[in-house]
Amino acid sequence: MRYKFLTAAFAATVALNFAGPAAATDLEVTHWWTSGGEAAAVAELAKAFDATGNHWVDGAIAGSGGTARPIMISRITGGDPMGATQFNHGRQAEELVQAGLMRDLTDIATKDKWTEIVRPKSLLDSCTIDGKIYCVPVNIHSWQWLWLSNEAFQKAGVPTPKDWNEFVAAAPALEKAGIIPLAVGGQPWQASGAFDVLLAAVGGTDTFLKVYKDKDAKFAAGPEIAKVFKAADDARKMAKNTNVQDWNQATNLVITGKAGGQIMGDWAQGEFQVAGKTAGKDYTCLPGLGLNEVIATGGDAFYFPRLKDEAKSKAQEVLAETLLDPKTQVAFNLKKGSLPVRGDVDLNAANDCMKKGLAILAKGAVIPWTDQLLSQDSQKQKEDLFSEFFAKPDMSVEEAQKRFADIIASAD
């Protein structure tokens, strides 16, 4: 009897010792990366995290950020937090942090010298609230891209445009060839994002900042912005035959040559890659619509909800470190089509478009993005306005601009 007990105890200790260092902690990570290119990229993160001896439990939520964020937020506020979750860094998780629901990562950040490796600095700034760091940026996503299908322009018999103005001029030829000039999907954020890109490209960096950073309503009602609305009106006319909802369906129209182009962030590049298209040969990308070569430093970041479980908290730290690891950064961003958050990584495998982006980044031509400047509330009002504007041909430009100025006046 006693002998048996001892053996059992012994066996238990051995088992414990054995399990100690290799303990695989499950950590659920929620995100909204579900399109082909995105899923391939997130698999790289999971692989890197699993290699540390932990286990990445994938909590993908389909339907883009608009659908996913409410689910994530209600899980966190409802007391069922996940191990880590994606947000766009900036103001989306601001209140969750202020309510003390998110984990302070400052210690890990100082230990690993994040302030030195993360670039541009504004990325880490948008993770910082009251001097403490709450998120790990994983990539830089910029909206300022015009994706053009070379095949579509060939079919229409016009050269591939070099900037937005040439694109607008080429629209009638495309239409004649039965091609939709500009693909804009029906999801509200697409129309709103396209306008913001036009604002930065047609209006210029200062105009962009004056409207969204200084929230100058009088300026937003003025002639500078009227020019931008004129461009948005062109875009609306060019996009009127798009009958798709999701952004990747709209991108697919460009990939298959059914549409001439699309204003979409660099995540669209992942779709071109999955479809086996080559930058420069099959498609052309114009950062800043070819008019004003800047890129916005929006992007994705991981936030870590405060957890009671020791082992999981430990795993959170491991994940935070893994995400910024140079190897993970390269593998993830190549698949995703976004830019890495550290400047010291080797990106020789990057394609044409990514290299253009890196060059602009190196020049320092960066602007903050609306996720960082405006509250979700103002963003939503903007989305409502532009989805109405793009879907309603009889809504006048003047009326739209007036309502835009009202939104800016009450923006926070």
Partner 1 sequence: MSNSERPNQLFRNLNAKIASIPMVLTALVVFVGGTAWTVLYSFTNSKLLPRLNFVGLDQYHRLWSTSRWLVSIENLLIYGVISLVFSLVIGFLLAALLDQKIRFEDTFRTIFLYPFALSFIVTGLVWQWLLNPDFGVQRVVRDLGWTSFSFDPLYNSSIVIYGISIAALWQGTGLIMCLMLAGLRGIDEDIWKAARVDGIPAWKTYLFIIIPMMRPVFITTLVIIAAGIVKVYDLVVAQTSGGPGIASEVPAKYVYDYMFFAQNLGQGFAASTMMLLSVVIVIVPWAYLEFGGKKRG
Applying CB under 8 A, among 381, 401, 405, 408 the residue interacting with partner 1 is 381
- Our CB check for partner 1 shows the closer of 142 and 378 to be 378
For the bound state, the minimum distance from the C-beta of residue 410 to partner 1, rounded and expressed in Å, comes to: 8
The 8-class DSSP code of residue 308 comes to S
Tokens representing residue 390 in the block: 């793009």
Of the chain, the end-to-end C-alpha distance in Å amounts to: 73
Q: Which x/- pattern over 95-124 shows residues binding partner 1 (rule: CB under 8 A)?
A: xx--x-------------------------
Residue 252 engages partner 1 in binding (rule: CB under 8 A): no
How many chain residues interact with partner 1 (CB under 8 A)?
31
For the bound state, the minimum distance from the C-beta of residue 303 to partner 1, rounded and expressed in Å, comes to: 13
**β-bridge partners, 294:** none
Residue 233 engages partner 1 in binding (rule: CB under 8 A): no
Q: Which string of b and e fits 351-388 if b means at least 16 CB within 10 Å?
A: bebbebbbebbeeeebbbbbbbbbbeebbbbbbebbbe
- Our CB check for partner 1 shows the closer of 7 and 396 to be 396
- Our CB check for partner 1 shows the closer of 182 and 354 to be 182
Smallest Cα–Cα separation from 85: which of 76, 95, 98?
76
For the bound state, the minimum distance from the C-beta of residue 353 to partner 1, rounded and expressed in Å, comes to: 30
- State which of positions 31-90 bind partner 1 (CB under 8 A): 66, 69-70, 73-74, 77
**Length reported for the chain:** 412
- Our CB check for partner 1 shows the closer of 61 and 320 to be 61
**DSSP letters spanning 314-339:** HHHHHHHHHHH-HHHHHHHHHHHT-B
Tell me how far apart the alpha carbons of residues 311 and 27 are, in angstroms, rounded to a whole number.
Answer: 10
**β-bridge partners, 56:** 27
- Our CB check for partner 1 shows the closer of 96 and 108 to be 96
Residue 396 engages partner 1 in binding (rule: CB under 8 A): no
Applying CB under 8 A, among 40, 120, 186, 230 the residue interacting with partner 1 is 186
For residues 208 and 194, is the Cβ–Cβ distance under 8 A?
Answer: no
How many alpha carbons lie under 13 Å from residue 12 in its C-beta half-sphere?
6
Give me the sheet containing 84-88, strands edge to edge. Answer: 55-60, 26-31, 84-88, 300-303, 135-137
For the bound state, the minimum distance from the C-beta of residue 80 to partner 1, rounded and expressed in Å, comes to: 16
What one-letter code names the amino acid at 110? T
- Our CB check for partner 1 shows the closer of 207 and 387 to be 387
Applying CB under 8 A, among 245, 256, 278, 396 the residue interacting with partner 1 is 245
Residue 346 engages partner 1 in binding (rule: CB under 8 A): no
Residue 178 engages partner 1 in binding (rule: CB under 8 A): no
Which residues of the chain form contacts with partner 1 (CB under 8 A)? 66, 69-70, 73-74, 77, 92, 94-96, 99, 186-188, 243, 245, 375-377, 379-381, 384, 387-392, 403, 410
